[in-house]
Amino acid sequence: IMENRQSLSQITKNSLLGIERILEKEKPNMVLVQGDTTTAFAGALAAFYQKIKIAHIEAGLRTNNKYYPFPEEINRHLISVLADFHFAPTEKSCQNLLTEGVKRDNIFISGNTVIDSLFLMSKENYIFNEPLLREKKIVEKKFILVTMHRRENWGKPLRETCQAILKLIEEYSDLMVIFPIHKNPEIRKNVNKILKNRRRVLLLDTLDYKDMVNLMCKSYIILTDSGGIQEEAPSLGKPVLVLRNETERPEAVEAGVVKLIGTNSKKIIEEVKELLDNKDRYRKMIRHINPYGDGKASERIVKRILYYFNLIDQSPDEFKVK
């Protein structure tokens, strides 16, 4: 469905029609919808139109600000209205659903499948697929990993972040920045304009998932607006500074391993310097605490579905933070 500069309406339409054809052909008993993307919403809507049961994985995440993140927050709400079963990753996401009137019997706290993937993909002696990362001298340096892709951060917020990166590189001669750039043309234009051909700034094309996970493992600090990375990095013991003002994943913020800092250039510099200069502050953020999962979410989800279809006798236990 990828087309140059397409609108959200075009993505929704193309996804809806494409998924409809698959559902008509395959006639599934249930459709699993993962996450909060526009394609996830289209998948749920297509299944609803066919009167097929819908199970939402990663259900119940909320900021309660319909434009932040945009359009994901409303996608989540709409999927929740359509879904028959809700696989909530945490107790807090379960409570969000209960507040909205979802019956507890239709909610199952599974943990998040992203942690399952993380454990599968992280390797101690990993060899990168990206040629520019195969050079050991690069990944053995102290580096900040940066990712930005959210629509609300296009334009000025992205430019402010890039300006902050420049100032940090100038001040810390032993510091490097690695920035895999999203494929969106607007993001690429802004990042390249400010950071291209700068010393100790490595701009990369979008990485495959294995490379990304193992690059996180080797990073010193992560700057990101990604929801997934907010969940993954705590398991790796990496401090995450979130380039957003609100998050639908408050659990790691409350645990002290993730911090919301926004996209103001001065604030970014201040927060990164605090971690670079204050060892006690850094140590407090690298505790291996992950409230989002234990690597067994997928197994729980499969067993719960089998139990629903009377294919096993006992429902699995829900995920609990240890």
Residue 118 falls within a domain, yes or no? no
- Mean pLDDT score of the chain: 93
Residue 31 falls within a domain, yes or no? yes
Q: What is the dihedral of CA 202, 241, 256, 318, to 10 degrees?
A: -80
Does residue 265 share a domain with residue 193? yes
How confident is the model at residue 135, as a pLDDT?
77
Does residue 277 share a domain with residue 245? yes
| pLDDT, tens digit, 9 for 90 and up, residues 30-77 | 999 999 999 999 999 999 999 999 999 999 999 999 998 899 999 999
How confident is the model at residue 227, as a pLDDT?
84
Task: Tell me the mean pLDDT in the region 156-173.
Answer: 95
Does residue 72 share a domain with residue 17? yes
How confident is the model at residue 131, as a pLDDT?
92
How confident is the model at residue 118, as a pLDDT?
93
How confident is the model at residue 136, as a pLDDT?
67
Does residue 218 share a domain with residue 176? yes
How confident is the model at residue 150, as a pLDDT?
83
pLDDT at 134 over 90: no
Query: What amino acid occupies position 192?
Result: N
Domain that holds residue 90: 8-112+293-308
Residue with tokens 């998932």: 209
The pTM is what?
0.81
| pLDDT, tens digit, 9 for 90 and up, residues 107-117 | 999 999 999 99
How confident is the model at residue 252, as a pLDDT?
87
Task: Tell me the mean pLDDT in the region 179-201.
Answer: 92
Task: Tell me the mean pLDDT in the region 229-241.
Answer: 90
Active site residues: 36, 58, 72, 149, 151, 182
3-state class of 173 per DSSP? Answer: coil
Burial class (CB in 10 A: 0-12, 13-18, 19+), 122: middle
How many domains in the chain?
A: 2
